[in-house]
Amino acid sequence: MKTINLNINGYSVKVPEGTSVLDAAKKVNIEIPTLCYLDLHDIKMVNRTASCRVCLVEIEGRRNLAPSCSTEVMEGMVVKTNTLRAIKARRTMVELLLSDHPTDCLVCEKNTQCQLQLIAAELGVRKIKYKGAMSNYKKDSSSGALYRNLDKCIMCRRCETMCNEVQTCNIYSAVDRGFETVVSPAFGLPMIDTMCTFCGQCVAVCPTAALTQVNNVPKVWEVLSDPDRYVIVQTAPAIRVTLGEKFGMEPGTIVTGKMVAALRRIGFKKVFDTDFAADVTIVEEAHEFIDRLQNGGKLPILTSCCPSWVKFIEHQFPDLLDIPSTCKSPHIMFGTIAKTYLAEKMGIAPEKIVVVSVMPCIAKKYEISRPELEHEGDKNVDLVITTRELTDMIKEAGINFTELPDEDFDDPLGESTGASVIFGTTGGVIEATLRTTYEWLTKKPLKKVEFHDVRGLDGLKEATVRINDEDIKICVAHGLGNARKLLESIQSGKAHYHAIEIMACPGGCIDGGGQPYHFGDIEIVKKRMEAIYKEDKNKKIRKSHENPAVIALYEEYIGEIGGEKAHRLLHTHYTPREKI
């Protein structure tokens, strides 16, 4: 590749042809402020709309300032990033953005994490210089998951790039003209009436609070204060490796014990682990897989733990709805078990039990409203909060999180295995399934439980596992764009697998739309993944079917794995949806 020589602020720089001025500056440790720009190398997302104009620089021989994020280097180019003209121009661009932006920073969801707020401070903006017309759009919380406040949209179009290019859902586009231009679904439809999967990746990259989660914290505090309700909580596997970040801990710090202690101090009657239900999911899913494998059932079987990807296939590939596993997602299974088995065991009326889920994704908020996931007309799970919302509750309660002692989950729904922990990262569900499937088919103990070929951040991963005399072909996809490629190859008959795992979010639940913001720092995601596998390795039991609490559940209440009662309580069905 051709090398380009240029000069930036007096420094000689050599970079490959096609490099942006912004990236060239980074080579010599020169930081140029950015707002709309976002580069997520590992998932091949680059937002270079140059709409904010905050990264303007001077280029010798050019009359106009140039946006460094979208301007490619040229041989002999001389760039100046720190001239008074460039600094004033950047400040003016931010002042113009603020002229049409609400000034409710003190009560804003993104206060202290808003990138517009941070860059205004860095550029020395201390007053709203320009005053004019203010946007006043209708707010949208129709999905129960995603909250849209377009008054705070700065037209950076990061959400559009993420939704259309990475997730390939194509929900967002710029509509209208001039001052009225806004990023919106077609015809201004409410989100619940679109093909949105509520994965929350648009929320994860939004620099302001134009896109956030629907806040359920007030509802949780309300039920906790109701003496007639018995409020229990479950926590997803990925929460324990991300929550610590919100309290100044290093990314990847495992805070399981402190998390449990915090939830008890908040006021939950019992603190349980969704990992228990993940183990239940595996024994049901492995049974279903083996049944299809041995009895001519529909293959490949697709894991069904992720509600975003389930909604994606319902809209985009309705002709393939006979291949996903019929297992409910783990936290929904947990809710069913809590309001039947646990209620009976504890002698509490099911209608008095309130199940709260702490989840890494906002799609779980939408999922609990699906009518096919109700049990006898009642929701399995009553309320969902995200990692970020749990952080808010801990802080509101005045709990010193870092000083908490480690505490254990409650029994009997708190016991789990290493197989369930790895549900939190891409490849984890299928690896957990393989651990059980291998032993059930071979009748031999699996000595090496790690399946390294399904691990890592490659968008599509393939593996072949020899079980008895058959090669079982596996594929793992994370990110809905990769899922689309995989499903299209299955649809066309080009790809042939026995089992497939799909997670909607790049990296899986560790990078879900409800997790602490990292705005493109992929090293944080990698540390979270490492922590998940460390937690698995430290578990005494690492195979779901060996969980004694799961064994007791079937012996005492459910009966046969994959049996009539198991299907009635733990399985579901899918619904073809319109393409809107």
Look up residue 196 and give its amino acid: C
Let me know if 546 is a catalytic residue: no
Tokens coding 286: 């492995």
**Given 153, 206, 305, 306, the catalytic residue:** 305
Residue the block writes with tokens 């709805």 = 321
Let me know if 367 is a catalytic residue: yes
What is the Cα–Cα distance from 208 to 151, expressed in whole angstroms? 10
Q: From 287, 289, 277, 314, select the one nearest 474 (Cα to Cα).
A: 289
Let me know if 305 is a catalytic residue: yes
Provide the Cα torsion 388, 394, 399, 401; round to 10°: -40
Q: From 303, 331, 564, 544, select the one nearest 437 (Cα to Cα).
A: 544
What is the Cα–Cα distance from 35 to 502, expressed in whole angstroms? 31
What is the Cα–Cα distance from 259 to 240, expressed in whole angstroms? 7
What is the Cα–Cα distance from 552 to 33, expressed in whole angstroms? 58
Q: From 384, 332, 344, select the one nearest 570 (Cα to Cα).
A: 332
Let me know if 372 is a catalytic residue: yes
What is the Cα–Cα distance from 157 to 79, expressed in whole angstroms? 27
Cβ-based burial of 229 (10 A; exposed 0-12, middle 13-18, buried ≥19): middle
Cis ω for the linkage preceding 412 (within 30 of 0): yes
Let me know if 364 is a catalytic residue: yes
**Given 328, 364, 527, 543, the catalytic residue:** 364
Let me know if 509 is a catalytic residue: yes
**Given 51, 304, 308, 325, the catalytic residue:** 325
**Given 12, 131, 372, 494, the catalytic residue:** 372
**Given 160, 245, 285, 389, the catalytic residue:** 285
Residue the block writes with tokens 């679904």 = 185
- Are 7 and 79 a contacting pair, CB within 8 Å? yes
Residues 6+ apart with CB under 8 A from 147: 139, 140, 141, 211, 212, 213, 214, 215
**Given 58, 109, 284, 288, the catalytic residue:** 288
DSSP string, 32-84: ---SS-EEEGGGTEEE----S-TTEEEETT-SS-EETTTPBP-TT-EEESS-H
**Given 58, 245, 367, 439, the catalytic residue:** 367
The string over 202-223, giving b where at least 16 C-beta atoms fall within 10 Å of a residue's C-beta and e elsewhere, is: bbbbbbbbbbbbbbbbeebeeb
- Are 358 and 273 a contacting pair, CB within 8 Å? no
Q: From 284, 281, 299, 282, select the one nearest 470 (Cα to Cα).
A: 299
**Given 202, 509, 543, 544, the catalytic residue:** 509
Let me know if 288 is a catalytic residue: yes
* Residues classed as catalytic: 285, 288, 305, 325, 364, 367, 372, 509
